[in-house]
Amino acid sequence: MNKEGAANRDHVLFINADREYREGKAQNHLRPEDIDKIIYAYRKSEELPGYARPVPKAEIVAEEYNCNIRRYVDNAPPPEPHDVRAHLHGGVPRVEVESLEHFWENYPQLQGDAFINRDETYLDFAPVLTEKRDIADFVANHQSVTARHEQFMQTVED
């Protein structure tokens, strides 16, 4: 904790860098990029979601001076959703498919080719995709995916 000017500050900066390291045999090590990220967060003294957050003193007092870093900066991944109805009756929840929008933007044809409507809340895999092997083959050989990949590679090379 930096004591210099502490009386004038109204917050404490918490940085949760517990996932930023290289594993070693006996000890873990901070890589140069990990150190740079910590220094950047410290110097900016701004909120970086899931990494750093200036916490008002009043909040720390309300938590009875508990300085557990994860209390203030939680970097745990969100829990995976489990749809019991889908587990029991089959189907893919439409919400889960729509949550992958960033993939569908890159391969717009893929979603329509991979899924068919079951009802307003569930999708099914397209009839041709009945086994995991079929799905992997479909994705690997799908013409629009291949075409988009080639376009991307050409852009990278240019």
Residue 58, CA atoms < 13 Å, CB-side half-sphere: 0
Task: Please provide the average confidence, as pLDDT, over all residues in the chain.
Answer: 83
Mind listing the pLDDT tens digit for each residue in 60-96? 999 999 999 999 999 888 887 788 888 888 888 888 8
Residue 52, CA atoms < 13 Å, CB-side half-sphere: 19
- Nearest-CA neighbor of 54 among 80, 22, 91, 16? 16
Task: Name the token pair of 117.
Answer: 């409507």
End-to-end CA distance of the chain: 49
- Nearest-CA neighbor of 93 among 103, 81, 102, 105? 81
Q: Where are the chain's structural domains?
A: 6-72, 84-157
pLDDT band at 41 (very low <50, low <70, confident <90, very high): very high
Give the pLDDT score at 42. Answer: 92
pLDDT band at 58 (very low <50, low <70, confident <90, very high): very high
